Chain A
Amino acid sequence: MTLFAALFSHYRRHPLQLLALALMIVLATTLWTGVHHLTDRARVSLAESERAVAGQQQLVRDDGQPVTVQDFANLRRAGLCVMPWLEVRRPPPAGRVIGVDPFAATCFGDQAPGQAGSDALNGEPFLDIGEAAQLSTNGGEGVLSLLVPQTVDPAQLPPGYQLRGFSLGPATGELGESFLLNLDALGVLVLLITALLVRSVYQLGLVQRRESFALLTRFGVPGGRVWGWLLAEMAALTALCVLPGLWLGRWLAALLGGGFGAALENLFDTPLYAVGAGGVAVPALVMGAVVLAACFADRRLLRYLPAARYVGTWPAALVGLVVGLLLVRFATVLGWLFAGIALVFVAVGVLTPRALAGMAQWRARAGEGLGKWRRRELAVVFRRLALPVVALQFAVAMVLAVQALVSTFENTFEVWLGQRLEAEFYVEVPAFVAVADGVHYLDGLAGLGDWHLVQRGRAQLESAGGTPALPQVDLFAISPVGPLVTGWTLLVAAPDAWSRLAAGEGVMVNEQLARRQGYEPGDTITFRLDGRARTLPVLGVYADYGRPAGEILTAGQVLPAAFQPRFVSFSINPGALAMDDVRQGLAAAWGTEALTARDNQSIQTLASGVFDQTFLLTRAITVLTLVLAGASLLIMGWVFFTTRVWYYRLLSVWGLTRREAANQLRWLAVALTGCVALVALPLGVWLTWVLVARINPLAFGWSLPMAVYPGFWLEMLGWCLLIGVVISLLMGRQLRGLTPAPAMANVAAGGER
């Protein structure tokens, strides 16, 4: 018999173990690929949308009329680099397509919009402009824009045209980036958990095979060769299992991601490219490496350790924990923050089983009789099932954190959008009209709800000393300051802040600016507007998640008369009136036709759609992780219990009825998973805090409010207890046979403790 056959004979005798191992690898790969694939897709989509949204300018007509093909022809003839961009909205489910002219795009160089992927122009939803025009005449609603490169000099424009920023939708890109980062963190955590699970199942097989390794060593086979063969065996198994896992993972991603992609597309208002099959090699290699590293990270596994306790030096782990916590708390660079998180997880993984076992031992001191025995057994189980226990802990912590995170995102985002969008409708003021006519019209309109005028521009920050080394910030002026803003909740301010703002006695700043420059309510801020510096108190700090730019909010009356806003709009609640009438009235007041009122409600609906999808996605993935961790605890528990079942029979011999003996087992299993849930809770809360209060500010400059959901904690505790009950019911099957015979070799040596 060859060495390989000798080694493999173990699995011939224990085919279930091989199956469990294979299954674990497949599921782990599925889970990770699913997360990875989704993150990848979201990342590419966002990159596309960013490229499409950012850095583009368009030409609009001075007279406010929409641009036409004739304009395009005129401008090209004038020698300007222009590209037509025809957006056609088709009724669902067909959705939106964009027609571009690849030939016109050549003068853009590598900045050309819609050029992201090599085949971007061939693939939906980017079309040749001719086809798109066809679609638009066939019932679609087409809007033509003329894009110009960033380098165009406004002075060179032909008369009758002006430059405008070109944006496909509300700039919520950062929130998306933040999502990605969180999805990434989720992916890494999933990888960690799966590594733990695979390792625990593999280790389990090894424990039973150590005897034969010892035998082989006595026969003179060098340990290195056994090691090599084991590695080869595992590599082969991994290679076999990773591919179906990858396939399943993609299927999962497609299942969940379809809706996700669509929702993202709606939010960012930009088409998502279907990422092709993508590379198989990278995920496969990563997974293979993780599996092999998890199984063969230390050669101690191979050695015969009669009472192989959970190894790990707890003083080092304690130091690691403290250092990790400090790093996470005080890191100013994302890299250190992640290192800190990793350190904390490793330390917690080492410390948790020890701490739980120690706790059970300590509780056993006071106990008497069976209570004492149960607690000692619990301590044994914590030590012996350390890996699956830690895996379950991580899984529960992850579920808690992700739930809190997504709920927080959802709530915050909804409130923030409400705050940001201010009113039900939003009307952009054309560049050529007199704003005052609009104000006058709205002022005189009976039955109209709340409204205000928004003027946006730039301001130069100045330090108190007057050195102009500080950045430019956005200026956001509203008039009048009324109920549309005074109800903002994502705000830190003094109670009279709004009245003082309305009186022009101060400004508010967004969180990004406050964090960057260290402003707090009560400080003063100095900024220059149209050459005039003014110093005003900071009355409040408001949340502004969408973008990186700093912003100052003032009352419109603070603006100098000569102030040239870059952008002017009205935010309007129509109140008792129909918005269409208001819009037409405004258009008439200005003598223009091209006036659109954006319905903010629909944007909010879209946003909550995104979160519903994200909820579904993260929930599915976390539940799967939880099920996987529970299953691994079950598998490990089952095998471990075969070495323990004798002692439950001994209880029967000592006069406990079968039900009483089974109850001891139930207590043990439920205490096990219950304790895991309890130790997962602080980890989960900490992880939530890290995600919203540390990673986000470091990565994006704003933090999300930290919310806790005790109801969900109870739900998780319930789930864990349920896992415990299921485990005890399945283990109870081993108690059914009545033959009282100690079966395992280690039982004869006094048993493990």
Chain B
Amino acid sequence: MTEPVVQVTGLSKRFATGADAVTVLAELSFALPAGASLALTGRSGSGKSTLLNLLCGLEAPEAGRLQVFGEAFAAGDDGVAGDASARWARLRRRAIGVVFQDANLMPALTLLENVRLRATLAGQPTAPAADWLARLGLAELANRYPDQVSGGQRQRAALAMVFAMNPGLILADEPTGSLDHHTADDVADSLFSLQQHSGCGLILATHDPALAARCQYRLDLGHDRPELAATSALPSAAAPP
């Protein structure tokens, strides 16, 4: 077994809103093998987005430890400031591709320029940006601006961006959430096929059971004590580490 790409131990997150505080995640622990795909499920407000933010350092945990690509972070070393924040920024810049439900593109840049910019930031200035767009069926639209293409096309361009940076891990927050069924399937097909091809890890937040079923693992944050579970998509049905 290879080293897990993400290891989470005793992770807790609370939000203080005025007087009362909401505990979103409590004592969460799991590990994701390299190259594996994981679906975060649970009703709205169960903490899927929060967990994704914690996993790329956009939020800081209350308690617990995180290890991403062997880089260790702990609660209290202040994930948003100081040294930890710089280490997170480096990780996000080169290794972690993040895809949101929408608004993943810079509006003043064409699709192609967006892909180029993201790849350049990731240290891949020579990445074949146009090829990535072509592989996602956007060859014709490469020189359009985001507001000149449809929502599905924008999401596919976002995927092209992420794959062009050659990431080790993709974090996708409801990447098909704003799309119609048909388009959503298209985008999901692209996502999974490219992920398998590149061999990077994928953590995907969704409340769509069909989409979740296409991942190898699943973590239901709606549960009191969420645990990593293999799905039927995992071919060897290996037990989670």
Contacts of A368 in B (CB 8 A): 116, 120
A380 within 8 A of B: yes
A379 B98 Cβ-Cβ under 8 A? no
A751 B146 Cβ-Cβ under 8 A? yes
Give chain A interface residues in 644-696, CB to chain B under 8 Å. Answer: 646-647, 650, 652-658, 660
- Contact indicator per residue, chain A 741-753, by CB within 8 Å of chain B (1) or not (0): 0100001111111
B58 A652 Cβ-Cβ under 8 A? yes
A515 within 8 A of B: no
When chains A and B are docked, how far (Å) is the Cα of A652 from the Cα of B93? 9
Known: A655-B89, A738-B59. A372 touches B121 (CB 8 A): no
Contacts of A655 in B (CB 8 A): 89-94, 121-122
Contacts of A749 in B (CB 8 A): 147
Most buried by A among B100, B102, B106: B106
Tell which of B4-12, B61-69, B107-115, B187-195 binds the partner.
B107-115
Nearest B residue to A364, CB-CB: B108
A372 B117 Cβ-Cβ under 8 A? yes
B143 within 8 A of A: no
When chains A and B are docked, how far (Å) is the Cα of A657 from the Cα of B102? 22
Known: A376-B108, A655-B122, A740-B100. A753 touches B85 (CB 8 A): no
When chains A and B are docked, how far (Å) is the Cα of A660 from the Cα of B108? 19
A369 B120 Cβ-Cβ under 8 A? yes
B80 A750 Cβ-Cβ under 8 A? no
A750 B145 Cβ-Cβ under 8 A? yes
Contacts of B59 in A (CB 8 A): 738
Contacts of B151 in A (CB 8 A): 748
B178 within 8 A of A: yes
When chains A and B are docked, how far (Å) is the Cα of A370 from the Cα of B117? 7
Known: A650-B104, A652-B58, A655-B92. A369 touches B121 (CB 8 A): yes
A653 B148 Cβ-Cβ under 8 A? no
Which of the residues B86, B92, B116 comes within 8 Å of A654, measured between beta carbons?
A: B92
Nearest B residue to A360, CB-CB: B108
Which of the residues A379, A653, A660, A750 comes within 8 Å of B105, measured between beta carbons?
A: A750
A544 within 8 A of B: no
CB distance from A79 to the nearest CB of B (A): 89
Nearest B residue to A369, CB-CB: B120
- Contact indicator per residue, chain B 46-66, by CB within 8 Å of chain A (1) or not (0): 000000010010110000000
Nearest B residue to A752, CB-CB: B107
A656 B103 Cβ-Cβ under 8 A? no
When chains A and B are docked, how far (Å) is the Cα of A753 from the Cα of B110? 10
CB distance from A753 to the nearest CB of B (A): 4
Nearest B residue to A374, CB-CB: B108
Contacts of B113 in A (CB 8 A): 372
A551 within 8 A of B: no
A265 within 8 A of B: no
How many contacts between A and B, using CB within 8 angstroms?
A: 97
Nearest A residue to B165, CB-CB: A654
When chains A and B are docked, how far (Å) is the Cα of A452 from the Cα of B90? 85
Known: A307-B147, A372-B109, A655-B122. A742 touches B92 (CB 8 A): no
Which of the residues B91, B121, B122, B149 comes within 8 Å of A750, measured between beta carbons?
A: B149
Contacts of A646 in B (CB 8 A): 103
B93 A656 Cβ-Cβ under 8 A? yes
- Contact indicator per residue, chain A 709-753, by CB within 8 Å of chain B (1) or not (0): 000000000000000000000000000001010100001111111
Contacts of A373 in B (CB 8 A): 106, 108-109, 117
B218 within 8 A of A: no
Contacts of A372 in B (CB 8 A): 109, 113, 117
When chains A and B are docked, how far (Å) is the Cα of A653 from the Cα of B58? 7
B156 within 8 A of A: no
Known: A369-B117, A749-B147, A750-B147. A377 touches B108 (CB 8 A): yes
Contacts of B154 in A (CB 8 A): 750
B103 A748 Cβ-Cβ under 8 A? yes
When chains A and B are docked, how far (Å) is the Cα of A107 from the Cα of B93? 94
B118 within 8 A of A: yes
B100 A742 Cβ-Cβ under 8 A? yes
Give chain B interface residues in 30-87, CB to chain A under 8 Å. Answer: 53, 56, 58-59, 80, 85-86
Known: A376-B108, A742-B102, A742-B103. A656 touches B178 (CB 8 A): no
When chains A and B are docked, how far (Å) is the Cα of A372 from the Cα of B118? 12
CB distance from B157 to the nearest CB of A (A): 10
B85 A658 Cβ-Cβ under 8 A? yes
Which of the residues A380, A654, A656, A657 comes within 8 Å of B108, measured between beta carbons?
A: A380
A750 B109 Cβ-Cβ under 8 A? no
Most buried by B among A372, A652, A655: A655
Contacts of A738 in B (CB 8 A): 58-59, 80
Nearest B residue to A657, CB-CB: B89
Most buried by B among A370, A372, A377, A752: A372
CB distance from B171 to the nearest CB of A (A): 10
Nearest B residue to A658, CB-CB: B85
When chains A and B are docked, how far (Å) is the Cα of A751 from the Cα of B89? 25
CB distance from B166 to the nearest CB of A (A): 14
CB distance from A672 to the nearest CB of B (A): 15
CB distance from A338 to the nearest CB of B (A): 40
B86 A657 Cβ-Cβ under 8 A? yes
Can you spell out 14 A-B residue pairs with CB atoms less than 8 angstroms apart? Answer: A370-B121, A372-B113, A373-B108, A379-B108, A646-B103, A647-B106, A654-B93, A654-B98, A656-B93, A742-B103, A748-B151, A750-B146, A750-B148, A750-B149
For the A-B complex with A307-B147, A373-B106 known, give 16 more contacts whose Cβ atoms are closer than 8 Å. A369-B116, A372-B113, A373-B109, A373-B117, A646-B103, A652-B58, A653-B56, A653-B98, A654-B98, A655-B121, A656-B93, A656-B121, A742-B100, A750-B105, A750-B107, A753-B145
7 closest A-B pairs by beta carbon, nearest first, are: A655-B93, A751-B107, A750-B147, A376-B108, A750-B146, A742-B103, A655-B92
